[in-house]
């Protein structure tokens, strides 16, 4: 069958593929531990579920306004105004079907063919694909584990030009867990001013903003208020409130850009699900204690995962400051041979496959995040899974002939 060049131009989501592979094995009765998809294992807090039930009872089962209900947009504007030290109105906010959809609409509204988007790597699997899909050109900026994945201002300056329509920052980062401090953001803002064009945007993906364990999250808007007309913030409830399946994300940006995104959304998905919007409203306006409880538990798992990884010979891991991923460097294991055969583990994809086959542990190969030789392990799973999974992982690596 002929499939469009558009569809052929992108890779499938590796994170979702790994998750599907793990789910399939589990359905077949295999005892697989998944460090794959970044998805909190916690249930959505009870008060949020009750708000969704109440919305159903009230008959909120119809289309809403395309950009979201006025109540939810108001709540998002209030929440993001607090986070970024701004005075955002509903006209600055659009609610979409997850933060991934927000990013999709945002790049669709921003990019013309050939417009460049600078993406610091290692990066989340979907950024380069979304940019490519909407006709933009991803420009990858290398960041290094030994530099704490900081953005080097000089190297950034070499790739930013008038052709740059946006720079995407994800802090804390998926997959590295790195957090950009104020100095880094000041440096990025300087490069945008000095080397970018008049409409070079900074897009911050703040989806993990409330899952920080070391240091403090900083907002680009606070650090560089002079860029205000060229900032877009992507955020959502998936990670913070354990609401991945509800599919609610949002974006705050200048009103004109939001209007363009709403036009695109109005011709594609229409509004996000009405009941999910009611749930998201309860998440943002209700008690925040569950967020802190989950954050604390993630932190315990993070410490355990990182220390277990560091006990494995020749595995290096930069300590993640936020999100829920560890991103170990496993290059020392490439070129190793399987225990009972002569097959060589050539790359991180083969290593992830070996770990799945041998240890029944699902992990995401770093190549998907443009970091070959690395593997991503999510600790958004129970402490007993973290402990058992790491035991199996270490045993599997130990069985390789290096």
**CB of residue 205 to ligand GLU, shortest distance in Å:** 10
**Distance between first and last Cα of the chain:** 44
**CB of residue 4 to ligand GLU, shortest distance in Å:** 22
For 293, the enclosing helix (H) or strand (E) is helix 289-311
Among candidate residues 86, 325, 76, the one with its CA nearest the CA of residue 211: 325
| Interaction between residue 177 and ligand PMP (CB under 6 A) | no
205 binds, among ligand PMP, ligand GLU, none (CB under 5 to 8 A by kind): ligand PMP
187 binds, among ligand PMP, ligand GLU, none (CB under 5 to 8 A by kind): none
170 binds, among ligand GLU, ligand PMP, none (CB under 5 to 8 A by kind): ligand PMP
**CB of residue 202 to ligand PMP, shortest distance in Å:** 15
From 22, 32, 48, 99, residue interacting with ligand PMP (rule: CB under 6 A): 99
| Interaction between residue 124 and ligand PMP (CB under 6 A) | yes
The nearer residue to ligand GLU, 125 or 330, going by C-beta atoms, is 125
The nearer residue to ligand GLU, 73 or 302, going by C-beta atoms, is 302
CA atoms within 13 A on the CB side of 206: 24
> β-strand 249-252 against 33-34: which pairing, if any?
unpaired
**CB of residue 170 to ligand GLU, shortest distance in Å:** 10
Helix, strand or coil for residue 373? coil
From 9, 12, 16, 229, residue interacting with ligand GLU (rule: CB under 6 A): 16
| Interaction between residue 102 and ligand GLU (CB under 6 A) | no
How many residues are given for the chain?
402
**CB of residue 302 to ligand PMP, shortest distance in Å:** 16
119 binds, among ligand PMP, ligand GLU, none (CB under 5 to 8 A by kind): none
125 binds, among ligand PMP, ligand GLU, none (CB under 5 to 8 A by kind): ligand GLU
Helix, strand or coil for residue 205? strand
Among candidate residues 265, 383, 279, the one with its CA nearest the CA of residue 52: 279
Residue 226 CA: distances (Å) to CA of 193, 223, 293: 9, 9, 36
Residue-by-residue DSSP string for 136-203: -EEEEEE--GGGTTPPPHHHHHHH-STTEEEEEEESS-TTT-----HHHHHHHHHHHHHHS-TT-EEE
The nearer residue to ligand GLU, 69 or 381, going by C-beta atoms, is 381
| Interaction between residue 236 and ligand PMP (CB under 6 A) | yes
| Interaction between residue 38 and ligand PMP (CB under 6 A) | yes
Cβ neighbours, 10 Å, residue 299:
17
d(CA 189, CA 191): 5
13 binds, among ligand PMP, ligand GLU, none (CB under 5 to 8 A by kind): ligand GLU
d(CA 227, CA 200): 9
Can you say whether the dihedral through the CA atoms of 342, 377, 183, 226 is positive or negative?
Answer: positive
Site map (CB under 6 A) of ligand PMP, residues 246-285, x = contact: ---x------------------------------------
| Interaction between residue 234 and ligand GLU (CB under 6 A) | no
The nearer residue to ligand GLU, 11 or 343, going by C-beta atoms, is 11
The nearer residue to ligand PMP, 98 or 365, going by C-beta atoms, is 98
Query: Looking at the DSSP assignment, which residues form a beta bridge with residue 204?
Result: 169, 233
d(CA 370, CA 316): 18
Please identify the residue of the shown chain whose CB is closest to the bound ligand PMP.
98
Q: How far from the centroid of its chain's Cα atoms is residue 5's Cα? A: 26
d(CA 12, CA 318): 27
| Interaction between residue 68 and ligand PMP (CB under 6 A) | no
Residues that bind ligand PMP (CB under 6 A): 38, 98-100, 124, 170, 174, 205, 207, 236, 238, 244, 249
Residues that bind ligand GLU (CB under 6 A): 13, 15-16, 37-39, 100, 124-126, 174
């Amino acid at each position: 069958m002929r499939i469009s060049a558009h569809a052929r131009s992108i890779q499938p989501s590796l994170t979702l593929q790994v998750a599907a592979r793990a789910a399939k094995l589990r359905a077949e009765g295999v005892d697989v531990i998944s460090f794959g998809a970044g998805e909190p294992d916690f249930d959505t807090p009870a008060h949020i579920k009750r708000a969704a039930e109440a919305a159903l009872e009230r008959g909120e089962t119809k289309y809403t306004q395309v950009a979201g209900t006025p109540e939810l947009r108001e709540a998002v504007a209030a929440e993001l105004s607090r986070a970024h030290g701004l005075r955002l109105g509903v006209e600055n906010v659009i609610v979409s079907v997850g933060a991934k959809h927000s990013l999709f609409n945002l790049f669709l509204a921003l990019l013309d063919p050939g417009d460049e988007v600078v993406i610091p790597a290692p990066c989340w699997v979907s950024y380069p694909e979304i940019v490519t899909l909407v006709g933009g050109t991803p420009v990858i900026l290398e960041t290094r584990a030994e530099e704490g994945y900081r953005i080097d201002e000089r190297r950034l300056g070499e790739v930013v030009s008038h052709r740059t329509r946006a720079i995407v920052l994800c802090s804390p980062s998926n997959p590295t867990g790195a957090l950009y401090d104020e100095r880094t953001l000041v440096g990025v803002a300087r490069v945008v001013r000095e080397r970018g064009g008049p409409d070079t945007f900074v897009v911050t993906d703040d989806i993990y903003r409330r899952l920080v364990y070391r240091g403090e999250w900083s907002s680009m808007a606070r650090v560089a208020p002079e860029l205000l007309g060229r900032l877009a913030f992507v955020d959502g409830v998936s990670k913070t409130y354990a609401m991945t399946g509800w599919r609610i994300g949002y974006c705050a940006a200048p009103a004109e850009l939001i209007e363009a995104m709403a036009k695109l959304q109005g011709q594609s998905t229409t509004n996000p699900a009405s009941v999910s919007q009611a749930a998201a409203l309860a998440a943002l306006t209700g008690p925040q204690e569950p967020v802190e409880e989950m954050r604390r538990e993630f932190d315990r798992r993070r410490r355990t995962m990182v220390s277990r990884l560091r006990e494995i010979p020749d595995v290096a891991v930069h300590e993640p400051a936020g999100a829920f991923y560890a991103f170990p460097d496993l290059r020392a294991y490439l070129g190793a041979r399987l225990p009972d055969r002569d097959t060589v583990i050539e790359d991180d994809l083969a290593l992830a496959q070996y770990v799945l086959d041998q240890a029944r542990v699902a992990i995401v190969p770093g190549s998907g995040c443009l970091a070959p030789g690395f593997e991503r392990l999510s600790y958004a799973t129970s402490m007993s899974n973290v402990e058992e999974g790491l035991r199996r992982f270490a045993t599997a690596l130990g069985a390789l002939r290096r």
